[in-house]
Structure 1
Amino acid sequence: MSEVSHKQAFAAHMMLYGIILFLVEFVRGAFLVSFLPTYAVKALGFSVTAVGWAVSIHYITDTLIKCFAGYLLDRFPLRFIVPLGLAVSMGGLWLMYSVHSLWLLIAASALFGIGLSPIWLVCLSKVRPEHRAEHMGMLYTCWLAGLGSGPIVLNFIMDKSYSLSFWIMLVLWGIGLALSLLITNTKLSAPEPIPLQQQIAMLWERLRSMKKLVPGMTLQTMAAGMLVPVLPGFTTNYLGFNYSQYSYLLIAGGLLTVGALIPMGRLSDRFGKKWFLVLGFAAFALTLFSLTLAFHLWVAMLLAAVLGISYAAVLPAWNALIAHYVPKNHEGMGWGLFSSVEGIGVIIGPVLGGWIADTFSESMTVLASAVLLGAIAVYYFLSPPESSASQAAVEH
């Protein structure tokens, strides 16, 4: 295949993956950020802590599947693994709307967490190494466009009907499932026939070499996870905004995030990752703290925009650093393991955030999240992560 044809095939595959990723993240964002915290608390009568448990169980399943899915994707057809996962998740989404007990809610959340890992790992394994941060920016643009627009759209629909909101999510997920049947089994690189035990040993060595990154891998996702079950309540109960105004905040933050991802990725490729991580996390912490004092819509929208830019500064630089530790020709398993480490924070965060909200207040959860993000900024200022990543790149 010629170089031009190869690039065209790569672009076509990434477009298909991007569309599927957009659809499933649209539904996941709509469900976890808007539908579940509102519907479960106000319509079904569950506590915020119960919602936090449901979100955590969702991410526990997602994290466990990442470990297993990475191994499967290195050895079995993509066209089989990805649709199978999406089909199981669709069953969990269907079950979620008819829950009547906490245990059924948790079971449905667990099933719903299964389908996203395979498509994510396929996308991440397609990133070209010579343009890691830029391609990460493009990939995260698709992800954030779906994750951000899902809650925005659903907030307006929920004012009219929970049922209509649910059916829209189910149909969009079904479209993503149908498109996943078009995925080709072609891989950019064929895995070397290394025994599983040897691969695990190799990945363990990678984890040991990246010990400077581990605190950030867990704490940043825990801080973000703390906010998931409390954001609707914080916005409506504490700040006094309605769901439509909540959507305006999401629009302000989402647009700035999506618009800044690719430029920030290119800048971090050029100038280095350390300061994008330090300043990004610091700005995120300060702005999140300020948001607890923003009782006027225009102030809250301005702060949401700053949050979006801060997020865009962190994401490409962070994932480009992680990419240095992914073993060559075993990208699926490598990304699966590292994503699982990050998933530890996502598992703990929602339960902790829900408990703080029920025990104290939603605003206290937001403040606690800001403190964690600020601690990450200080840690990476004192212990720059790029030196170990550079060493990993040499060994790689």
Structure 2
Amino acid sequence: MEMATRLVNRKLLTPTFLCLWVIMFLVEFVKGALIVSILPVYMGDVLKLSAFAIGLSFSCQYIGDNLFRSPAGWLIERIGFRLTMTVGLCITFGAVFIITFMKTMGFIVLGCALLGIGTAPLWPCVLMGITAMTEENKNFGTAMGVIQISSLGGTGLGPVAINFLVGVSYNLVFWVLLGCIGLVILVSLLLPRQAATGHGGEANAAHGAPIAEHGGNELLKGGVRQIGRNLKETLRHLRQHLKVSRLLYPALFLQSFAVGLLTPVITLFVRSELGLSPEAFSLMLVCGGGITVLGLIPVGKLVDRYGTRLFLNTGFALAAVSVGLFAFTRTLPLVWLLVMLIGCSYALILPTWDTMISKLLPEGEKGTVWGLFLTIQGTGMIIGPIVSGKMWDAWGASAPFVASSVSMALLFFIHLYISRKPSSTGVTILD
């Protein structure tokens, strides 16, 4: 965080932003520890559950997370920013509690599903908060660079740190994770009621959205009928005000699908095709991930100054070429070079992609649109691993990497098209 303080305008480092940074880091820390280090071994070796139970638990976590992002975004506009985040974190605490103390398959699967549901509001809330906080200073890209550091840092540090405790006791591990979630619940109470600038409430009211200032009363008054009217009003508002190219929706899917294709096979590929040791593979991940992390804030600052088009085009093209070459390269020096290039490509893509999306949000339903876009994007992370395994079995080890490269190439051409489309068509220009 010291590096962020030196590189980021101090206007960005508000108490709200710092709270979001801490929440993002600790939640991703807990998820990374559970999904990567704890659950596969704990469920298999300690609880003696089947591979089917492990796979079902993971699927329920991903599905719960993805399905509830859109409702979470919708709720932010209705019951408030702070309440949505806090309720989600409380559900997350309950999920970790169930996984900690319940030993049967049914409860573990339930706990994983609740983990996904509870963490679903995280990204919609964070993105909604950043959108509001950066509206005046136009520094969304810089903010996303700092937030991505907390996300990647938590995801990476969680499994590493927890591995040191697993040898002591799983009970200790689970109590540490429960303590982390308890801490973020307390931090969430420091958030403002709604993620808006001083004029945010008026903007929402002007567009007919029942806003969070009323503490959810407008949502709950009238029971189910009122909720139904709210949903109809939301759909009407989106039809009238959400003006984006239809190609954006497959682009949202492809952006995560390209990553999802590689997630289940990268370790197997490196071990079986490249012959690298676990230590060498870990060093490779640190190298590629470190380059990405180091580039996030500088790229974010450049995006705020020069726009998103150049950085996304370069990032997609670089990712397509480097991942494609990685599929057929067996020379270790070239493999290391490609890993560094992939790290560079994601440093260009990660803060820039969400900055581009933030420019497309209509007034009055920003939380809902963030949730919708994140749901579409998350679908790629669900389908990608399934397709990847089939491709590996049918066409060999290089096939998932070729498919990922092709997905990035398609993204390059889609973005090239929609970023140059004239504004007279009703589509927002991306710079």
The TM-score bracket by the shorter chain reads 0.7 to 0.9
**Which residue does 1:87 correspond to in 2?**
90
- Answer with 335-344 or 29-38: which moved more: 29-38
> Match of 1:16, as an amino acid?
C
Q: Counterparts of 1:30-69 in structure 2 under 5 Å? A: 30-33=33-36, 35=38, 54-69=57-72
Of the structure 1 ranges 91-100 and 117-126, higher mean CA displacement relative to structure 2 is found in 91-100
Is residue 210 from structure 1 mapped to residue 245 from structure 2 by the alignment? yes
Q: Judge which range, 215-224 or 241-250, deviates more.
A: 241-250
**1:185 has 2:193 as partner:** yes
TM-score by length of 2: 0.75
Per the TM alignment, residue 67 of structure 1 is displaced from its structure 2 partner at its CA by: 1.6
Query: Which residue is 1:353 aligned to?
Result: 388
Tell me, yes or no, if the aligned pair for 1:209 and 1:388 is still in contact at 8 Å: no
- State yes or no: 1:274 paired with 2:309: yes
**Residue by residue, what CA displacement relative to the aligned partner does 1:47-90 show, whole Å, maximum 9, x if unpaired?**
6x986665443232122221211222222244433222122223
1:194 pairs with 2:209: yes
The partner residue of 2:20 within 17, 20, 42 is 17
* Aligned mate of 2:419, from 370, 375, 385: 385
In the TM superposition, what are the counterparts of 1:232-243 in structure 2 within 5 Å?
232-243=267-278
1:184 & 1:337 partners in 2: Cα distance?
23
2:325 equivalent to 1:283? no
How big is each residue's C-alpha offset from its partner over 1:167-207, in whole Å with a ceiling of 9 and x where there is no partner? Answer: 65444334323432333325422232436323222224555
- The answer to whether the 8 Å contact 1:321/1:386 transfers is no
Which residue identity lines up with residue 83 of structure 2 in the other structure?
F
Q: How does 1:1-396 map to 2 (within 5 A)?
A: 11-33=14-36, 35=38, 54-96=57-99, 106-127=109-130, 128-129=134-135, 130-153=138-161, 157=164, 160=167, 163=170, 168-188=176-196, 189-190=200-201, 191-192=204-205, 193-194=208-209, 196=230, 197-205=232-240, 209-292=244-327, 300-357=335-392, 363-381=398-416, 383-385=417-419, 387=421, 392=427
1:268–1:207 distance in 2 versus 1, CA, 3 Å? same
The amino acid of 1:123's aligned partner reads V
Aligned partners of 1:56 and 1:349 also within 8 Å:
no
Q: Deviations over 1:229-271 (max 9, x none)?
A: 3344344444444444333222212221121112212323344
Q: Equivalents in 1 of 2:390, 2:49: separation in Å?
A: 16
What's the TM-score once normalised by structure 1's chain length? Answer: 0.81
Contact 2:82 2:194 in 1 (8 A): no
1:15 deviates by 0.3
Q: Is the 8 A contact 2:258 2:408 kept in 1?
A: yes
Higher relative contact order (Cα pairs below 8 Å, separated by 6+ residues): 1
Cα distance in 2 for partners of 1:72, 1:255 equals 36
Contact 1:212 1:388 in 2 (8 A): no
Distance in 1, matches of 2:118 and 2:264, equals 21
Whichever residue aligns with residue 419 of structure 2, its letter is: P
Residue pair 1:213, 1:385 contacting (<8 A) in 2 also: no
Check whether the contact 2:64–2:120 (CA below 8 A) recurs between aligned residues: no
Q: CA distance change for structure 1 residues 146 and 28 in 2, over 3 Å: closer, same or farther? A: same
**Given the superposition, is the C-alpha separation of residues 369 and 380 from structure 1 closer, same or farther in structure 2, using an over 3 Å criterion?**
same
Partner in structure 1 of residue 215 of structure 2 = none
Q: What's the CA shift for 1:349? A: 1.7
Q: Distance in 1 between matches of 2:413 and 2:260?
A: 20
Counterparts in 2 of 1:74 and 1:268: CA distance versus 1, 3 Å: same
Q: Which amino acid aligns with 2:78?
A: R
Aligned length: 385
Write the distance in 1 (CA, Å) between the matches of 2:178 and 2:377. 28
Maintained 8 Å contact 1:274/1:384: no
Paired residue type of 1:122: C
Deviation at 1:221, TM superposition (A): 0.9
- Give SS of 2:120's match: helix
> Deviation at 1:116?
2.2
8 A Cα contact 1:29 1:151, kept in partner: yes
Residue 11 of structure 1 deviates from its aligned partner by 0.7
Contact 2:319 2:345 in 1 (8 A): yes
- Compare CA radii of gyration and give the structure with the larger one: 2
Cα 1:58–1:389 shift into 2, 3 Å: farther
**Which position in structure 1 is the counterpart of 2:213?**
none
Instruction: Judge conservation of contact 1:70–1:332 (CA < 8 Å) in 2.
Output: yes
**What is the alpha-carbon distance in structure 1 between the residues aligned to residue 180 and residue 423 of structure 2?**
39
Amino acid at match of 1:194: A
| CA–CA distance in structure 1, aligned partners of residues 402 and 182 of structure 2 | 38
* Deviation (angstroms), 1:17: 1.0
Amino acid at match of 1:286: V
Maintained 8 Å contact 1:149/1:251 = no
SS in 1 for 2:261: helix
RMSD: 3.6
CA distance in 1, matches of 2:267, 2:124: 30
Which amino acid in structure 2 is aligned with residue 109 of structure 1? C
Q: 1:341 to 1:100 in 2, by over 3 A?
A: same
